[in-house]
Amino acid sequence: MASKKSAVKAPPAKQSGMRSVRGAAQQSTGHGGELHQTAGTRDPVLTTNQGLPISDNQNSLKANPKGPTLLEDFILREKITHFDHERIPERIVHARGTGVHGVFELTKSLKKYTTAKILTEVGEQTPLFARFSTVAGGSGSVDTPRDVRGFAVKFYTKEGNWDLVGNNIPVFFIQDAIKFPDLIHAVKMEPDRGFPQSATAHDTFWDYISLTPESMHMVMWIMSDRTLPRSLAMMEGFGIHSFRLINAAGVSTFVKFHWRPKLGLQSTIWDETVKIAGADPDFHRRGLFEAIEAGQFPEWELAVQLFTQAEADKFPFDHLDATKLIPEELVPLQVIGRMVLNRWPNNFFAETEQVAFCPSHIVPGIDFSNDPLLQGRLFSYLDTQLSRLGSANFHQIPVNAPKCPFANHQRDGHMQMAQPTGRVAYEPNSLAPLSPRESPSQGFVSAQVEEDGVKGRIRAESFADHYSQARQFFRSQSPFEQAHIASALVFELSKVEHMHVRATMVGHLRHIDPSLAERVANGLALAPLPPAPPAAAPVKDLPVSPALQLIGKAKDTLEGRVIGILIADGSDAALIASLKKAIVAAGANVKLVAPKVGKVKLSDGSTLPADGQLAGTPSILFDAVAIVLSKDGAAALTKEGAAVDFVRDAFGHLKAIAADVGGKILLDKAGVVADSGVVAAGDTKQFLAAAKTRQWKRESAVRTLA
């Protein structure tokens, strides 16, 4: 039978360097109070802030094993409340964000399933505000670390604000919200040294993950190219949890929400990502800004997976477990609408920084499931906004205010901007017939769901399988993507100083895929292969799901891409004009790069201003490059390191390269050996075809992967 607790026990602490238990208590609490002791050990007992020993720090209190989380759980509330208030004023997580205004248009009615007008009125355009973010870094960190991306959308509907708050990955690290503070403490900068910033490649993160088998599915996603998006407009979004839709008859149907980008999916390569962070820390933010300024509005389809409780009972996993997804092959996606982002905020702080998303912001016809991670989020987000924005009146900030009429009897508080009139501030009342009152016919009604069972800190047995979907994800990837996952694990674990953490992680990988474990162990020079820890449930071989690939979801288009052309004095004017015309016609943007940012004198005597100076505009900022140089211009640039790196990096990052006779001189200097992705600059058709994708077959020739 599956164990209800599946965490692997940590190895005993080394004696060297350990403080006495009393000393540890004095340093950590700051007031000299002694911590409770476990009989016969030196480990302190975990307690609440009031000194109450905690028996279970892994599971929140539920009405029954698969039931809703109870407000009674004072341990959960204390832990998350303290966590929510740890930082002010920037967000504890998702601090580095980019927000944009837009509209949502419904294209298919879900009236059969819900009364929510935003999901029933086809053709209706609903204003919205979307915010994309990294998770681990502070507000001053870079745009491009290996990290999960937040994907949050605030719909200003006719019935109030609906916040669909998710990520660009459909699963999460943990199954229960009570574990969230521990997860984030582990991934953040280590508290004794203040680094690394916005990175998972360090001991505390992998120590925690190695002791949390439920995270293994998410580990596969974060080690994949999904966490290295090429742009914000080229990543998917997910609501993560199962929600409920409720129709006019009160019947509820489960739903999962998916955002699908019009431009398709594309990632960067790790070496490229690291260099982008140095060349342009605002790479994603700048790309979104420039696209909107140019009228190339990013667009996503909103799709849903709909299923009943009877259908869910037949799944080989529990859909209430946030570490699981529902494969598209099992429950197909239905596209119901589209989102277009078309307006940049007038003031970054006023809107992007002050926007407040809460999963508890829903409208009639939408409701929650018993997912224990979601249940905790319903409390945590509101509590966080009270801390960040300083007042229960944060809903009066313009970016947070509903665009439909709203009224209640809540009064006063810090930063109260409204001026309610009259003597009545309560309901029911008989003194103010026009004051706001409850509306049984129009108001929100929760799904009518029966709950029974014994309450307790217990996790459902159906949550015990931690490896099957991780195995499914890895085996669904293309060979190139599998190599990237293995190499990412080698890179990350090589930064971990404690050998037992590396060994434990490789042991987990044996459950996911033996070949993956061997590749990572070999990359770490770890021999013999560590044993696999006990699995809480048998590992299943689920069908592969091609929909889980990233490369497979790239679209045959140049829209949203940027192509750089390296030029210098004497470059062929006609060839430059021809390339620019073809690139723009294909839907991509063009940027000219030159040794000097001023005017470049071309072969016909005309001049052309460059968009970027060579040293500050490397090829890592482009999706493909063309090299158009005279022989003299090329000869001069062969002595310039930035020029040699321009083509060397483009080739190493698997990009298409077009070069004329002069350009070929620079390619030779950089040691570039022509393949199908290196073409003559005059062959624009072949160049643009190659520019639509990475030259994946080239990778084995330019780098060693695990």
Residue pair 536/464 in contact (Cβ under 8 Å)? The answer is yes
Query: Which pair of structure tokens corresponds to residue 322?
Result: 């946030």
Helix, coil or strand: residue 675: coil
Q: Which positions ≥6 away from 488 have C-beta within 8 Å?
A: 146, 223, 224, 270
CA atoms within 13 A of residue 171's CA, in its CB half-sphere: 26
Instruction: Tell me the C-alpha distance between 340 and 322, whole Å.
Output: 28
In this structure, how many other beta carbons lie within 10 angstroms of the beta carbon of residue 694?
A: 24
Which residue has 């708050």 as its token pair? Answer: 165
354, 395 in Cβ contact below 8 A?
A: no
3-state secondary structure of 427: coil
Q: Rounded to an integer, what is the distance from CA 191 to the centroid of its chain?
A: 24
SS3 171: coil
Which stretch of DSSP H or E encloses residue 517? helix 514-523
DSSP calls for 578-631: HHHHHHHHTT-EEEEEESSSSEEE-TTS-EEE-SEEGGGS-GGGSSEEEE---H
Q: Is 408 a catalytic residue?
A: no
List 600's β-bridge partners, or say none.
608
DSSP summary character for residue 334: E
Task: Output Rg (C-alpha) for the chain, integer angstroms.
Answer: 28
Cα–Cα distance for residue pair 705/422, rounded to 1 Å: 71
Task: Please give the structure tokens belonging to residue 698.
Answer: 């080239």
Q: What is the DSSP-derived secondary structure letter of residue 173?
A: S
Largest separation between any pair of C-alpha atoms in the chain:
90
Taking a C-beta distance cutoff of 8 angstroms, is the pair 554, 266 a contact? yes
Q: Which of 94, 241, 361, 466 is catalytic?
A: 94
Q: Are 549 and 525 in contact (CB under 8 A)?
A: no
Instruction: Dig out the tokens for 256 from the structure.
Output: 């999962």
Catalytic site residue from 59, 161, 167, 370: 167
Which residue carries 């190659």 as its tokens?
690
Answer whether 661's CB lies under 8 Å from 631's CB.
Answer: yes
What is the spatial distance between Cα 122 and Cα 117, in angstroms, rounded to a whole number?
9
Closest CA to 277 of 577, 578, 618, 568: 618
The CA–CA distances, whole Å, from 368 to 69, 176, 457 equal: 12, 15, 20
6: helix, strand or coil: coil
Question: Whose CA is closest to 262, among 328, 166, 325, 341?
Answer: 341
Cα 546 to Cα 46, 240, 303, 523: the distances in Å are 44, 19, 18, 27
Record the tokens describing residue 168, joined without a space.
Answer: 């660009």
Active site residue 161: no
CB-based burial, 111-120: b 16+ in 10 Å, e otherwise:
bebbbbbbbb
Catalytic residues: 94, 167
